[in-house]
Amino acid sequence: MILPTQFWYYPVVIAAVSFGAGNAIAHALQKTTQKRQHLSTAGLLGAVTGALIGAFAHFIGLVPVVGNIIQYILIYYSFLQLFIGFIGFLFAVYHRVFLKKSQAITKSLKIFMGLFYLDESFTLRSIIHGFSRHTWELLQTFVGHFYSQIRNTGVQVSMVEYFGGNTFIINENQNYQDGISLGNFLNINLWRSLSTAMDLISSNEPILLHEHGHTIDSRRFGWLYLPVIGLPSLINAMGKGNHNVFWTEIRANRNVKKYAEKYYHISWKDYESEYPTA
């Protein structure tokens, strides 16, 4: 076991404080007006999520051989995420000072806080998704954060918004429209522009919902998501033919059809021709 047994509470406390503060800051950074009670609840749920992750990081070490490997992975993962966020911030400062990109720092910060952001339902589901993000979905969460910061340093991000537990990194007014989902980081290129976070759902841009469908598979497949779903989808998208009818995309549409109808009363019938479910 890597972490000293007598200090078992160290990772629990550190993770609880980090996630509590991170989730509260993420919600405070949203464009919509936040009530103090709302932010307090966000902080509390973030703290519970962080405490569970910290407890897992410590007690998984009790499992012979495999436990130590997982602890090493979690420790390196945590430091690498901090390093990526720091480098992204430095590049954002450069863009702000020398290229006069006024929102670069805010976007970098919001991308980093997307690691901690939990959805607005403030339920047990939020905690489970937050816990899964940094354990079961650790690989795609790491790649998603790294890729999102790279896009921001390349000035390929128009807006960063939170909604439904996801961090949307959007490049607006493009000549093409596509997206890639890595954990809860959804990088999307859009034909047109959006104005608010609610537009992410009500904009009649089904690609936003479609990419959310991939995040559902991310939670289902965990560490296997990239080789089983992500890589085949990427290879197919780079080839010829209609990518929207590839099996990974149909799965995403099926996933989000149920989600959209259950939580937002959105019918998928209007989108079926472009984003089929069969």
Does residue 4 surpass a pLDDT of 70?
no
Spatial separation of the C-alpha atoms in residues 253 and 59, rounded to whole Å: 37
- Position 199 scores a pLDDT of 60
Closest CA to 18 of 79, 108, 107: 79
Q: What is the pTM of this model?
A: 0.92
Spans of all domains in the chain: 5-203
Lowest mean pLDDT among 109-113, 153-157, 170-174, 202-206: 202-206
Q: What share of the chain is helix, strand, coil (3-state, %, to 5)?
A: 65, 10, 30
- DSSP H or E run through 36: helix 36-59
Per-residue pLDDT tens for 137-158?
999 999 999 999 999 988 789 9
- Is the confidence at residue 88, as pLDDT, over 60? yes
Which residues face 162 on adjacent strands? Answer: 167
